[in-house]
Structure 1
């Protein structure tokens, strides 16, 4: 059964689409001084191609997809969480999908176990944004917090947007379930939450960068040690093919498609110019790599780890 974009956004994806975790996931590691930045798998999503590709120039799109060996009708993007291990703290960026969103996702606890960690070992959980595959894993099957000992951190603008009672009525019918789900989960963890804004150093060596468009308050995070850095990109750059070849094209994944494209082009330019590694939530090859300029666009070069 194929789902159209509206059905997926309405939250029916987990009821109708099944599949196991992505077999192509590769654990990635980048050393930054005494810190390790690790890409962890939360499984993968199963999405109709229309979610990304409807409304785009189909002839040029077909050329790009063929070049990158990407199917047109159905995609299975990986979900790459980021773990920052330091001597005095263990920081998780995003909490994954949990048990309630899609059967092919929600593998975070198994990935933590493979690192010799339990949820109680996580000292901080930092959210890029509050979409289901990034937030819903914060509660378990019984609606109890998965990381009861951790400080939870989210951008003030993102919190304000999802906690605004008017959002469910203004976000559009397709995403209304996202608004209901986000508000319920954020309310459940309110006592653990602290807030930050653009350009704040939220933890030593970790700076927040406002990257709006995918959601109004979407944040990316630059983890730096001296001249070496990696950007935890969340969904600011949502794939490693069309988003790099034609970053100016609108993406159906973004709530504000025009702002999302502007943010994507700005971020790609920064990563290429400053030689900052990228760990993208839905990028293949474990999500970790470099952004290189081409003649008229960019390309993603997976990191050799």
Structure 2
């Protein structure tokens, strides 16, 4: 795979974006796609989550948190992050990162298949599925209501640590009560992949040009993926970065969704510093749709700058 240069400026200069996006079904030609040559990085919405504010940032100074949300025109009683499923079209490969929530997690989510159909993309066209982690909104869309794998022609990839954690029978008992359903749901769905999963380690080239980056903390084996090959790389961050205001303005605030909050903070700070220094493009699962932009330093903290 030749990921040549995935910046909007270069696309405008070279005029290659239209040719690249033409390879996708018509409904999957988002205005904010990062594209070049025969490679297109797009995303499909799976809807959004609705999370209580107290769950999301229980240790943050609540007055500062509310003020930050108000300053960004957001509700102050809950967070409603978008869910963006990245899809990388490269040559004859259609690579999906995570598979959405399915129909059994939240009423506001689970829209992936409907939006794929609207965009003219058949699940049978997905050749590879690469998981960032095994939380419900990233994994539970693996099987449908008839207990059939939704992506019948895909190969499946997951980091070894993440796989072994969720497949361990002791994980259910070790999880806090409010997270036990996460573990039960993960074990039920990962069982479908027992004989077909491809496991990898941090730093591995999972697929050509797709480097696995260790971003543990949100879960024990959470992975992000750096797309290489051009003058500026692109990071698929999964849930290592989750909120377009809070994660950037206050990256040291612990997140209630991180299984290891302290490690999650360290990972987030390291990742933001790398993104700002490398001037890499960023796509993350819960940033505003389509979830693409860049990281800039803003004094001692950071700022998310959406593409487009």
TM, length-normalised to structure 1: 0.89
Partner of 2:276: 272
Q: Among residues 159, 162, 172, which one is paired with 2:163 in the alignment?
A: 159
Is this contact kept in 1: 2:84–2:289, CA < 8 A? no
SS at match of 2:228: strand
Partner of 1:102: 106
Rounded to whole Å, the distance in 2 between the matches of 1:147 and 1:89 is: 14
Is this contact kept in 2: 1:33–1:225, CA < 8 A? no
* Superposition pairs of residues 26-105 of structure 1, within 5 angstroms: 28-105=32-109
Is this contact kept in 1: 2:156–2:197, CA < 8 A? yes
Rounded to whole Å, the distance in 1 between the matches of 2:113 and 2:228 is: 27
Rounded to whole Å, the distance in 2 between the matches of 1:32 and 1:264 is: 28
What residue ranges of structure 2 are gaps of 5+ in the alignment? 1-29
Q: CA deviation at 1:27?
A: 6.3
Give the count of matched residue pairs. 279
Partner of 1:189: 193
Q: CA deviation at 1:192?
A: 2.3
Q: CA deviation at 1:87?
A: 1.4
Rounded to whole Å, the distance in 2 between the matches of 1:286 and 1:121 is: 21
Rounded to whole Å, the distance in 1 between the matches of 2:158 and 2:263 is: 20
Is this contact kept in 2: 1:98–1:139, CA < 8 A? yes
Is this contact kept in 1: 2:140–2:186, CA < 8 A? yes
Partner of 2:241: 237
CA-based RMSD of the aligned residues comes to 1.3
Give yes or no for the alignment of 1:113 onto 2:117. Answer: yes
Is this contact kept in 2: 1:27–1:38, CA < 8 A? no
SS at match of 2:178: helix
Is this contact kept in 2: 1:32–1:224, CA < 8 A? no
State the Cα deviation string for residues 50-103 of structure 1 (Å, max 9, x = none).
121322112322332222122221221110000001112000000000111111
Partner of 2:301: 297
Is this contact kept in 1: 2:237–2:282, CA < 8 A? yes
Rounded to whole Å, the distance in 2 between the matches of 1:155 and 1:114 is: 31
Rounded to whole Å, the distance in 2 between the matches of 1:66 and 1:106 is: 28
Rounded to whole Å, the distance in 2 between the matches of 1:55 and 1:270 is: 26
Give yes or no for the alignment of 1:220 onto 2:224. Answer: yes
Q: CA deviation at 1:139?
A: 0.3
Is this contact kept in 2: 1:196–1:202, CA < 8 A? yes
Q: CA deviation at 1:227?
A: 1.2
SS at match of 1:286: coil
Q: CA deviation at 1:193?
A: 1.0
State the Cα deviation string for residues 25-58 of structure 1 (Å, max 9, x = none).
x763101442100021001111111121322112
Rounded to whole Å, the distance in 2 between the matches of 1:142 and 1:192 is: 20
SS at match of 2:184: helix
